Structure 1
Amino acid sequence: LIMDFITEDVQAFNIVEQPSFITLVKGPAPNRSFMCYEMLTEQVERAYENVKAKFEGMRTFYTAANIWIAGRSFLGIVVHWLDSSSLECYSVALACCRTKGHAYDHEEVRAAFRIHSKVCCTITNNGSNFIKAFKEFADFQKAEGDMQASEDEEEDAIVFLDLDQISATHTLHLVATKDSHDYLSTGPLALKKLFWSIIAKFSALWNSVKVIAEKAKTQLIDPNVTRWNSFYHAYSKSQNTPEEVLHDLCDCLNLKRLREIELIFLNGNCHMMKSLACALDSLQGESKCFIGFLLTTISALQKKLEAMKYSLKFATPLGNAILRVLQKRFDIYFEDHSLIIANDLICLCSAPEKESKECGGAQ
């Protein structure tokens, strides 16, 4: 348990020697023996070797990488693979280390676990510096390989495969947050005024959670800017609050009441965002979501938004804007042959089950 805590929380190993930590752990059982620094190091080394041995029998992996640059830079890498018999998806965190060069550090970690030749792709977010680092490193490797092709050297070659696969969920996240917000805040003047009026009123409500808790006997969600669905849930919670309660809250806080047109706009916006939120939840599944579901999910989302934009007041401009952005951002995915093949395979695998259900319903 101590090793799990230290590795999963990325704690320094010498924490086991801190008196306060020892007191905390030994509190419930003072006579129990305690793990020292040397024992912890040995267990981590053993776990590291076990993971490498397990990877020996695997044929294909893909990795996900992310980087944090606030203060000191850290690179996090997770490896994923499918069990050949159950088709269950498994994952292991490989590293969370200080970084100087995104791509080279990533390759170092893969080489340490001896999976550098088995990784089919690496998924990153849409950060341009991350993608550029991978591309420049891959181009450098190719150029260096061309120059040294005629030389008989025995040095180990670094294999750097196609790593320009950006995260589709992060792309959809940008549609749900940045693109929709940009359109509403800079679009047609009437829509922009309506949007900023709602933002101002709800910002004041979110900043007065104590009054809301006392008056409405409930709590509105205070949105967190670091989470993709935070504003959607905050608006949805507010939209589900009875209209008279919202009016009372505005009166209590000396705010202008929400107008009927603003409530109608909020309702349409929440329905639009709900479709995006459901698609994101589907694509972010850990064990049962495969790459073959991507094109089907995006196509279904486009059809849903197309039908919805005419049934909700004030939703048509936003619906058209989101559909344009979806087409712009995801067109490249629909031209990817590997994604098309994966989509067809998923359709073939699910066809017998679907046919069986339809036959059962008919009977």
Structure 2
Amino acid sequence: LTQPKVDNLIVKFVVDGLHSLSTVEEPGFIQLVTGLRPGTSVMSRRSLGRRIDEEWGKFLDDAREKLSGQSYVATTADIWSTHHRSFMGVTVHWIDADTLSRRSLALACRRFPGSHTYVRIAEMLEDIRQSFDISREKVVATVTDNACNFAKAFREFGFCSEITDQDDVAADLSFEIMVEPDNLDDAEINLPRHLRCACHTLSLVATSDAKAALSTPSFERANTSVMSKCS
């Protein structure tokens, strides 16, 4: 292995495994690399950070080039929380014109600090779209779950003819609708058509709606009768 190849493998190891940049400074890791290939060296933490930034820049350029050649794309968006931190993830999907195969890219996994207001959701979606030079007309639809604030973001800033309030559907979700000031400048935010994830909707039907239906005496009797026959 040449030194450039070793450097590339180290970058891939750290990025793919979500390891800390300080991994390259650990004595055991240095011994592993130099022991497997005597004569090679392990880059410093600072050099690793620069290499990752360079690779990210190459990814952005490659992604923009791929997306610029597509006539239409669709996107998905989701917000989740872990260890008291919230994140927004966005992916893009299209059909390859030559092979008719489905293609996709992960566009973002960004920290989402603060409240999940519909305005901040719309602003982040718009910023991600612009960062990849994707025109508004190119995005035919964005798929999300049934969270109230996602629906409101698209109702206020995009195509909303098919969107209705479904507070009962999203009753189990933790997103809270926040009151926003009336003087917001939304001229630059124009979200695409909104589609609710079918799998998430079916999951809610099978959990939240079914649980709520058990409070209906007729449904509860039918459910008890069926379940008793299965036991």
TM range (shorter): 0.5 to 0.7
Structure with more relative contact order (C-alpha pairs < 8 Å, separation 6 or more): 2
Instruction: Give 1:109's match in structure 2, choosing from 128, 131, 153.
Output: 128
Q: Does 1:136 align with 2:159?
A: no
Instruction: Name the counterpart of 1:173.
Output: 203
The gaps in structure 2 that reach 5 residues or longer are 1-8, 114-119, 160-181
| Structure 1 residues 78 and 43: alpha-carbon distance in aligned structure 2, compared to 1, 3 A threshold | same
Q: Aligned partners of 1:107, 1:5: CA distance in 2, in Å?
A: 32
Q: Aligned partners of 1:22, 1:93: CA distance in 2, in Å?
A: 34
Query: What residue identity is the alignment partner of 2:77?
Result: A
Instruction: Name the counterpart of 2:104.
Output: 91
Aligned length: 183
For residue 27 of structure 1, report the CA deviation from its aligned partner: 2.1
Which protein has the bigger helix share? 1
Instruction: Give 1:120's match in structure 2, choosing from 111, 125, 140.
Output: 140
Moved over 3 A (4+): 1-9, 18-26, 28-35, 137-140, 184-195
- Write out aligned runs for 1:1-363 (5 A): 3-4=11-12, 11=18, 15-18=20-23, 23-24=28-29, 27=32, 30=35, 31=38, 32-35=40-43, 36-70=48-82, 71-99=84-112, 101-117=120-136, 118-138=138-158, 145=187, 158=188, 160-184=190-214, 186-188=216-218, 189-191=220-222, 262=228, 264-265=229-230
Query: What residue identity is the alignment partner of 1:91?
Result: S
Query: What residue identity is the alignment partner of 1:56?
Result: S
For residue 49 of structure 1, report the CA deviation from its aligned partner: 1.2
Report the aligned-residue RMSD: 3.2
Q: Decide whether the 8 Å contact of 1:135 with 1:163 is kept in 2.
A: no
Q: Decide whether the 8 Å contact of 1:68 with 1:75 is kept in 2.
A: yes
For residue 138 of structure 1, report the CA deviation from its aligned partner: 3.5
TM-score (norm 2): 0.65
For residue 54 of structure 1, report the CA deviation from its aligned partner: 1.6
Q: Aligned partners of 1:7, 1:116: CA distance in 2, in Å?
A: 30
Q: Deviations over 1:175-224 (max 9, x none)?
A: 222223332465435456679xxxxxxxxxxxxxxxxxxxxxxxxxxxxx
For residue 105 of structure 1, report the CA deviation from its aligned partner: 0.5
The gaps in structure 1 that reach 5 residues or longer are 146-157, 196-260, 267-363
Instruction: Name the counterpart of 2:177.
Output: none
For residue 69 of structure 1, report the CA deviation from its aligned partner: 3.8
| Structure 1 residues 42 and 144: alpha-carbon distance in aligned structure 2, compared to 1, 3 A threshold | closer
22-31 or 158-167, larger mean C-alpha shift: 22-31
Which protein has the bigger strand share? 2
